[in-house]
Amino acid sequence: MTAPIWSQLLALNRPLVMGIVNVTPDSFADGGRHLSREAALAHARNLVAAGADLLDVGGESTRPFSEPVPLEEELRRVIPVIEAIRTELDVPLSIDTYKAEVARQALKAGAQIINDISALRFDPDMAPLAAATGAPVILMHMKGTPRDMQADPRYDDLLGEIKAFLKERRDFALAQGIAPDAIVLDPGIGFGKTFAHNLQILNHLDTFLDLGCPLLVGPSRKAFIGHYLGGLPPDDRDYGTLAAVAVAVHKGAKILRVHNVAAASQFLTLLRIIQTA
């Protein structure tokens, strides 16, 4: 998928649903369920059948306080899954990684998009790789690293600091030769934010629209939802997730990264029908 085709996908003029394929033993919401190639492929089939517009494949959990995964282990997890999905399913694939070598091999295996939680900061080879291959990038705001981001996140100006970060990362990507229509921005719900910060970001998501890039939001099953709904565990947070999705779309999000694709797809389809009736 080249950057123009990415633009064409976004030009469907409706919010896109990104299904999550975690090939990890320890992700907060579904760790271990899709760890094998066969289980991950079956999950991908189900997500596409449920309405996923694209899939995000990741081999390293970035939950709060998680530890990094060695390069070879991450490759062992994700490359066979990407190859299997590409062989069977005609769906855009994103590789969720901050390691350039993982992204390089994933693109070779059939992925087309790089979803980098570090916004091209953790690996100096990532931006040149994206520029050379033409792979679209998703650049996310994160305060700290997954290991320490939730220790005590503080901001003097939450929205202003996130916006300044995303602008700087966008400009960096452009300076590296990444095409303007190949950049998506993600304010990073749950990545170095308190529960109250997450609510503020969702309520003011339109603050970031004038950066000129499509916005991706990933609130799915996150801890703030469980907190505000009386301590619900991750598997019981899908209804709450839809409330966050509704606000995100109302405030301008173009891509919603979710675990329960069927629920999000049905919700967004009916919302669009109601709004255009």
Q: Do residues 180 and 139 lie in contact, with contact meaning Cβ atoms separated by under 8 Å? A: no
Residue 234 is predicted with a pLDDT of 94
Give the active site residue among 104, 251, 254, 257. Answer: 257
The reply to whether 147 belongs to the active site is no
Q: What is the pLDDT of residues 170-214, one digit of tens each?
A: 999 999 999 999 999 999 999 999 999 999 999 999 999 999 999
Give the active site residue among 77, 104, 143, 222. Answer: 222
Would you list the domain boundaries of the chain?
3-276
Tokens 């003011």 locate to 204
C-alpha span between 164 and 149 (Å, rounded)? 18
Structure-token pair, residue 211: 């950066």
Reported confidence tier of residue 155, pLDDT bands at 50, 70, 90: very high
Reported confidence tier of residue 33, pLDDT bands at 50, 70, 90: low
- The distance between the two most distant Cα atoms of the chain, rounded to a whole number of Å, is 52
Structure-token pair, residue 23: 């090939």
pTM: 0.94
Q: Residues 214, 109, 166, CA angle at the centre, nearest 5°?
A: 25
Q: Do residues 250 and 6 lie in contact, with contact meaning Cβ atoms separated by under 8 Å? A: no
Backbone angles phi, psi at 257, to 5 degrees: -95, 115
C-alpha span between 51 and 48 (Å, rounded)? 5
Q: Do residues 106 and 71 lie in contact, with contact meaning Cβ atoms separated by under 8 Å? A: no
Residue 1 is predicted with a pLDDT of 46
β partners of residue 95: 57, 114
- How much of the chain exceeds pLDDT 90, in percent? 82
Pairing relation of β-strands 255-258 and 216-217?
Answer: parallel
The reply to whether 170 belongs to the active site is no
Q: Do residues 22 and 62 lie in contact, with contact meaning Cβ atoms separated by under 8 Å? A: no
Who has greater pLDDT, 143 or 237?
237
Q: Do residues 75 and 38 lie in contact, with contact meaning Cβ atoms separated by under 8 Å? A: no
The CATH H-level (homologous superfamily) assignment of domain 3-276 is: Dihydropteroate synthase-like (3.20.20.20)
DSSP state letters, 160-175: HHHHHHHHHHHHHHHH
